[in-house]
Structure 1
Amino acid sequence: MTERLGDGGGLRGDGGAAIETGDGESDAGSRPTVTVVVVTYNSVPTVAETLASLTGQTYPSDRYEVVVVDGGSTDGTADVAADYGVEFLVEEGAGIGACRNRGIDRAESDYVAFTDSDCAVPATWLDSLVDRMATYADDERVVGVGGPNRPFPTDSAFTKLVGSFQGTAFGSGGSPQSHDIDRERLVRSVAACNVLYDAEIFERFRYDDSVNVGEDAELHFRLSEAGYRFAFDPTIAVSHHLSPSLRALWAKNRSYGTAMARIQRRHGKLVRWYSFVPTAAIGSGGAALAADLVTRRARYVPLLAALFLVASGYAALQVYRDRGTLLAALVPVVFAVQYLAYGVGFAEGLTVDDP
């Protein structure tokens, strides 16, 4: 049975809640302190799952705390947080970057960890992140540790299909948080839904308050430019509710594309090498169609269609090997929707100023 958080104590002694896991106070002084920050907004359908997983950690109960930073929810998110006794901070109208910074400002721990309000972490999550961080204690480049995010076991077959596709090179562009990489390595960025930072890095770097989507990519780009790296451990995975429908997949990837383009415009540099590929593919398709219409010969469009079928067929084969389901036949549709949405969003981000 999951136990709730108490109302007193904590790492700071000023109202922060300490986790009650039932494991006692063992190793009280030998483990680093951790503040886990969960950013949320209207998250009633999923946030209880997140907080339940965080209250069941194997990490010593007096060495970590959970802080929820809310962007001004209008549903019952605050009531759910109260049920779990966690500290609940409200940043009315704030974006994700600003909410993450509020959690950082609140923390006085050795490490700051983040997961999202539509995720659930394994019971050993903090233990694993802290232990992995310790193995890089002598490497000043390493400022954090992260791992992949995977669909929930209870998610729909379509959601799991999306997760498997995004675990392929074509579905993730090779990003370690999505791509199915089976070895530990140093990377330039990890997903903020599964990350632990050395808190000292926040004395010099912060999330950008004005960035709402892609805020982790923007911060991690600046860190990588300064020579810092993250340790990516594929064994430290969290469950994440991915897109449950084609409509949701379109909306999410369009917002990702827009955010990435705006970040790259701001820095004047290519943040992710693959970010322009979907837009370039759309442009190439349009040019090919125009050329074939002018010449009245089907030359370029069939060639591009054949290339797409080869790429999507390869991805479908990988998904079938992963999931063993005939739904892998839908991968070309998922592939097309994700790339079109991201490409449209990226083009919008290049041409339209921030609102």
Structure 2
Amino acid sequence: MISVIIPSFNEEENIAQCLVSLSHQTVNKSEYEIIVVDGGSTDKTCEIARKYTDMVFIQTSKKVGGARNDGVMASKGDIIASTDADCILPPDWIERVRDDFADPAVVQVYGPVYPIEDSVGNHFSLLLANTFSRIGYYSQTFYYTLGCNTAFRKDAFIKAGMYRCIDAGDDIEVAMRMKDEGKIRFDGKLKVGFSMRRYQQYGTLKSLYEWIYIVAHGGETQKYAYTQKKYK
């Protein structure tokens, strides 16, 4: 059993396409469950999510990392797959996650992203991000494990201490602890459609600067109203 955990907050315009893509996978639905952990949405996010998922509930832990942790603790699966409510998953996503864990030594798997909003600028931005991710993996210096496209062996994830409940960088920081539990694998074919809407709204350079600033300050700061703060 693979448990897919999706944090959400006021995503009524995007979550349906995410959940529909998860509902049309190459593996039988009996092999996975879909759990949405909501941060207290004031729109129809939860109403929409209930049409496609096995479970929808309001998070009790703080931040987006806490929402993912809550989902893990409520899950039935031995493998936890994480994505975001505004992402689109290819039909073989869960199948690839399953196959990547065929090696019992593997405790975490992650892959690249591509932009849902098709433009030269968006493709270039994510080309740089994916190149950065590959360099880190193949040099064994760091793991750029984005929360929108990563999966864990559940027992190892819990043993490692799960996500830190911070504003930013929780999805990358956790890999530094997971590597002590076993092998981390980068799968270049494990791709996810990633929404660039926040970067387009606030500007790529400004968004990246704010994210780096928050990470540099231990993942928490009051200087910027980073989007992940919306998760309670």
TM range (shorter): 0.7 to 0.9
In structure 2, how many angstroms separate the alpha carbons of the residues matched to 1:161 and 1:232?
25
Contact 2:60 2:70 in 1 (8 A): no
Distance 2:164 2:218 in 1: 13
Query: Is the contact made by 1:189 and 1:230 (CA closer than 8 Å) also made in structure 2?
Result: no
Structure 2 counterpart of 1:75: 43
Measure, in 2, the Cα distance between the counterparts of 1:212 and 1:184.
28
Give runs of aligned pairs for residues 94-105 of structure 1, distance below 5 A: 94-105=62-73
CA distance in 1, matches of 2:8, 2:146: 16
Of 119, 137, 157, which aligns to 1:202? 157
Shift in Å, 1:40: 0.8
**Cα gap change, 1:81 to 1:164, in 2 (>3 Å):** same
Whole-Å separation in 2 of the counterparts to 1:106 and 1:211: 21
CA distance in 1, matches of 2:122, 2:53: 34
1:229 and 1:192, CA in 2 relative to 1: closer, same or farther beyond 3 A? farther
User: For 1:189 and 1:196, how far apart are their aligned partners in 2?
Assistant: 13
State the Cα deviation string for residues 233-274 of structure 1 (Å, max 9, x = none).
Answer: 11110101114526242453133112320238x9xxxxxxxx
Structure 1 alignment gaps of length 5 or more = 1-32, 267-344, 350-355
Match of 1:88, SS state, is strand
Structure 1 counterpart of 2:167: 212
Tell me the percent identity.
Answer: 24
Distance 1:251 1:77, change over 3 A: farther
CA RMSD of aligned residues (A): 2.9
2:230 aligned partner: none
Equivalent residue, structure 2, for 1:231: 185
Aligned counterparts of 1:245 and 1:161: Cα–Cα separation in 2 = 10
- Deviations along 1:38-71, one digit per CA (max 9) or x if unpaired, are 1111111211111001111121221211000011
Higher relative contact order (Cα pairs below 8 Å, separated by 6+ residues) = 2
Which residue identity is paired with 2:65? Answer: G
TM-score (norm 2): 0.83
1:107 to 65, 75, 78: 75
Q: How many residues are treated as equivalent by the alignment?
A: 221
Task: State yes or no: 1:145 paired with 2:109.
Answer: yes
More helix by share: 1
- SS where residue 193 of structure 1 aligns? coil
1:166 matched residue in structure 2: 126
TM-superposed CA distance for 1:34, in Å, is 0.7
Q: Which aligned runs of 4 or more in structure 1 are off by greater than 6 angstroms?
A: 183-187
Tell me which residue corresponds to 1:126: 94
Q: 2: distance between equivalents of 1:105 and 1:255?
A: 31
TM-score, with structure 1 as normaliser:
0.56
The separation in 1 between residues aligned to 2:107 and 2:177, in whole angstroms, is: 13
Q: Distance in 2 between matches of 1:189 and 1:85?
A: 28
Between 1:69-78 and 1:82-91, the stretch displaced more is: 82-91
